[in-house]
Amino acid sequence: MSRIKAGQGIDLDKQNAVSSANALQEMTTSALTGLAAWVSVYNIPFLITSIGMIVMLLWAGSYKMTVPGAEGIVPLVSHSPLISWHFKLFGPYIGSDLIGITEIIAAILIVAGYLKPKAGIVGALIAVVMFL
């Protein structure tokens, strides 16, 4: 900091404004750095993505257990090369219930993965196979 020479006046308002601006800039930088650290420590992007996946699986799985949901997926499943046998073997309503139960089980296992990671891995693998 520069020294004040004899006979030179001090502009206290200007000095206070500069120090306030510096403090505000440090606080903003510290707040953003702190927020970034918090997001990194608690892995917020993973939580948001996995919660979205859980909600979607629970919602779609429960909808497939209704009559409109079962009738809605009949064309999709009957023309699928991998799962067309499913409705021939079980029929559209029981087959749709089995698909819905599989989605709900995958969602429950992903939730359990927060406490037991192996369960989350199994749930994620079930979801990946289902989406294929």
E strands, the chain, are none
Residues 31 and 47 in one domain: no
Specify the pLDDT at position 31. 81
Half-sphere exposure of residue 40: CA atoms within 13 angstroms, side-chain side? 6
Over the stretch 19-41, which tens digit does the pLDDT of each residue have?
555 554 555 567 888 888 888 88
The total number of structural domains in the chain stands at 2
pTM for this predicted structure: 0.70
For residue 37, the enclosing domain spans 9-42
Residues 72 and 53 in one domain: yes
Is 52 inside any structural domain? yes
Residues 87 and 49 in one domain: yes
d(CA 88, CA 74): 11
> Got the DSSP string for 76-114?
HHHT-TTTHHHHHHH-HHHHHHHHHHHHHHHHHHHHHTT
d(CA 90, CA 109): 25
Over the stretch 58-111, which tens digit does the pLDDT of each residue have?
999 999 999 999 999 999 888 888 888 888 899 999 999 999 999 999 999 999
Residues 48 and 29 in one domain: no
